[in-house]
Structure 1
Amino acid sequence: MNATELHQDSIVIDGLIIAKWGRDLFEDMRKGQLTAANCTVSVWEDFQATVDNIVMVNELIDENSDLVMKVRTTDDIRKAKELGKTGIIMGFQNAHAFEDQLGYIQIFKDLGVGVVQMCYNTQNLIGTGCYERDGGLSGFGREVVAEMNRVGIMCDLSHVGSKTSEEVILESKMPVCYSHCLPSGLKEHPRNKSDDELKFIADHGGFVGVTMFTPFLKKGVDATIDDYVEAIAYIVDIVGEDQVGIGTDFTQGQDKAFFDMLTHDKGYARELTRFGKIVNPDGIRTVGEFPNLTEALLRNGFSEQLTRKVMGENWLRILGEVWGE
């Protein structure tokens, strides 16, 4: 089977997209033959603003139902594949929307949220992000993890501090993930994970989605799709071939104001980091170029079976374990 045929036949799942919502994006998702994606609907927003975002996303999905569908279960993801649509998994990059109400977790699960990151870069009621001194998981945070386990929402630790991440991994009865990260073994950065951290999450049944966000890649804005594959291979060597997937962190269509919001605490306060120029690796600049990744994995020595796993089968399995369906 050649790369084009393999991509068409595979389940392709992106563990994190935070691009600008709209038909243009949905059309590009279909061009890239994306089966499903964890799409961010909350970062700094509180409960009400997040519900408003979900209302907007629901309307967009309805208006573009020829291209996309909401997915809540792994059967829904398989159905999206059959129908030639892209399944939208709604996810948060911060648990701020839970506020201090454990009951809100069930509410968001009922609305279709499947993945929630515990913190986004800084401190919240649950724990600490990766850009400040890490005090670990709070007592309330332990309750949140238990409730997320109960309702079937996956705990994401990509932007979470090392100590808080370790304690969530130990606390959770379900697999947790770094939905979009890169190894600090290839480039030192507060957002990248050490070999020990990658091994620790995998040893406890967790999952690693590999991002291609160039500020975290070894060659930065000069990175190509082959540099991205190098990072995937590096992580496979540490965690094994069953616990790795894709988590691009596509920001397609977003403007400077959006990145200013992301890089300031709470969306408006102190500046946490500067990314500089934002450009995806040559060869996978847009979601529509996803087939190039299947080709690049094969070209760099990945077997057909491993390519299928990395491109989506591993995500499908681990999401099924957490969602229970």
Structure 2
Amino acid sequence: MNQKIYRGYQSYQYLDAGTDFKSFELVKETTLFPDYVVPVSEDEEARAKKLMDENIVISLHEHTFKSPANLGEFLEFRRWGRDFTGFEGLARSGLDCVFDNLMNGTAMITSRGGWKWDDVLYDLGMRLSDIAHQDMVILGLTTDDIRRAKKNGQIAFVPSLEGAAMIENELDRIDILYGFGVRCMGIAYSEGNALGMGLKEKSGGLTAFGKQAVARMNKLGIAIDVSHSNDQTSLDTIEASDKPIFITHAGARALWDTNRLKPDDVIKACAAKGGVVAIEAAPHTTITQKHPRHNIESFMEHFEYCVDLVGIDHVSFGPDTLFGDHVGIHKALSEALSLSASKGSHPYEQVEYVQGLENPGDCFPNIVRWLVKHGYSDEDIVKAIGGNTMRVLEEVWWDPRKQGHGLGK
């Protein structure tokens, strides 16, 4: 589906592994677990392929790196600052644009806590240097970049950050991140920061400084994400923003009672402002009472609930996957990623992987097959897999070619 111009490039192949950087054995970009394809008829498969071939496909939230095969080496691997993009896996993904959220919570080159300014810039600069040495993935800074990637068989890479702790109390750091290519940023991760409260905090919302930061992101053209912000911070951010915002990777708390998912009032407020909620698939998140085993059925139950709640124009997908043993990484990094703050109180079935949504290379073909199989119209599928996101980006991202700035009079 949606073939890309992949020529076999592997990350940092322009350097000498073992000499220029420490070499780690990394996972393969093929599936680690039994492959799963949503069962469809030949006609449905053809329709799914046509929809992906002819329309823009965007994931609002992924981590497209390849993890070490030995997860005991993960923190050492991260401290070297080189994430290896899964180019081969992306080539089969059907994606035209991916919001890549790096791994800044585990960027521990200068600290043991992550999210430090120097480490985030190291993370960004190193990743973009690698991307600059190949031609399938391009930097996605405008909606025209996304359309160009689609036309040319490429993928637009949108650097994104899940939280803003690294800016501390410096508004101008948001401008610097924009200069590094960041086009989507969260308010807070699990821990609160100078802008607002994360999932760990049961009270408190957007701070006065947070309101200034929201205004600056609006002016610069950075999309705002509240996926990891607590409920009040999410509501405050939606109200403070002049532009629509994203919930790039979440689900409906009404289906599974956990802080990691959003209550109806937050989802409604996001949609009322023109924003989009994207459904995530990180292991043991979007499960439901009806489907306590996390798989594509429970994931799509969250999608359908949100569509019923706010309409198809405000729902999309941000699977939040990676190339590697996602469950194993969660176990290895549970403290660093504050995963205890995201778990609900109901018992659920532990899985080794999320069937049908294991990694960035497999998610969207299965999502589109599922939508086709369940009778969604072409128009609604096009909105959900990229159209809704493009509508928001056209309003949020700043583009001098469309706004008349810097062109002279």
Give yes or no for TM over 0.5.
yes
Shift, 1:284, TM fit: 2.5
Please report the RMSD computed on the Cα atoms of aligned residues, expressed in angstroms.
2.4
Q: Which residue of 2 aligns with 1:229?
A: 300
Mapped to 1, the partners of 2:285 and 2:339 lie a distance apart of 21
Mapped contact 1:17–1:38 kept (Cα < 8 A) = yes
Q: Which residue of 2 aligns with 1:308?
A: 382
Which of 20, 31, 41 matches 2:65? 20
Q: Does 1:57 align with 2:130?
A: no
CA separation of 1:133/1:23 partners in 2, compared to 1, >3 Å: closer, same or farther? Answer: closer
C-alpha deviations, 1:205-251, integer Å up to 9, x for none? 22211112231222577333233222211111111111111111113
Mapped to 2, the partners of 1:230 and 1:271 lie a distance apart of 24
Shift, 1:271, TM fit: 5.8
Mapped to 2, the partners of 1:270 and 1:303 lie a distance apart of 37
Structure 2 residue identity aligned to 1:306: D
1:1-325 equivalences under 5 Å are 2-21=47-66, 25-41=86-102, 42-43=104-105, 44-63=114-133, 65-218=134-287, 222-253=293-324, 259=330, 263-264=334-335, 267=336, 272=341, 279-289=352-362, 290-325=364-399
Mapped to 1, the partners of 2:200 and 2:355 lie a distance apart of 28
Mapped contact 2:251–2:302 kept (Cα < 8 A) = yes
TM-score (norm 2): 0.73
Mapped contact 2:188–2:226 kept (Cα < 8 A) = yes
C-alpha deviations, 1:269-313, integer Å up to 9, x for none? 896457996644322322222212111111112111111110111
Shift, 1:165, TM fit: 0.9
Shift, 1:256, TM fit: 7.5
CA separation of 1:151/1:190 partners in 2, compared to 1, >3 Å: closer, same or farther? Answer: same
Mapped contact 1:17–1:247 kept (Cα < 8 A) = yes
Mapped to 2, the partners of 1:194 and 1:268 lie a distance apart of 22
Looking at CA atoms only, which structure, 1 or 2, has the larger radius of gyration? 2
C-alpha deviations, 1:78-124, integer Å up to 9, x for none? 11111111111000011012121111111111111000000001211
Moved more, 69-78 or 128-137: 128-137
CA separation of 1:206/1:60 partners in 2, compared to 1, >3 Å: closer, same or farther? Answer: same
Shift, 1:147, TM fit: 0.6
Pairs aligned (count): 322
CA separation of 1:62/1:221 partners in 2, compared to 1, >3 Å: closer, same or farther? Answer: farther
Moved more, 194-203 or 70-79: 194-203
Moved more, 69-78 or 222-231: 222-231
CA separation of 1:119/1:62 partners in 2, compared to 1, >3 Å: closer, same or farther? Answer: same
| 1:288 aligned counterpart, secondary structure | coil
Shift, 1:50, TM fit: 0.8
CA separation of 1:86/1:268 partners in 2, compared to 1, >3 Å: closer, same or farther? Answer: closer
Mapped contact 1:209–1:247 kept (Cα < 8 A) = yes
Task: Choose between structure 1 and 2: higher helix proportion.
Answer: 1
Aligned-pair identity in percent equals 29
| 1:113 aligned counterpart, secondary structure | coil
Mapped contact 2:296–2:356 kept (Cα < 8 A) = yes
| 1:190 aligned counterpart, secondary structure | coil
Mapped contact 1:263–1:273 kept (Cα < 8 A) = no
Q: Which consecutive unaligned segments of at least 5 residues does structure 1 have? A: none
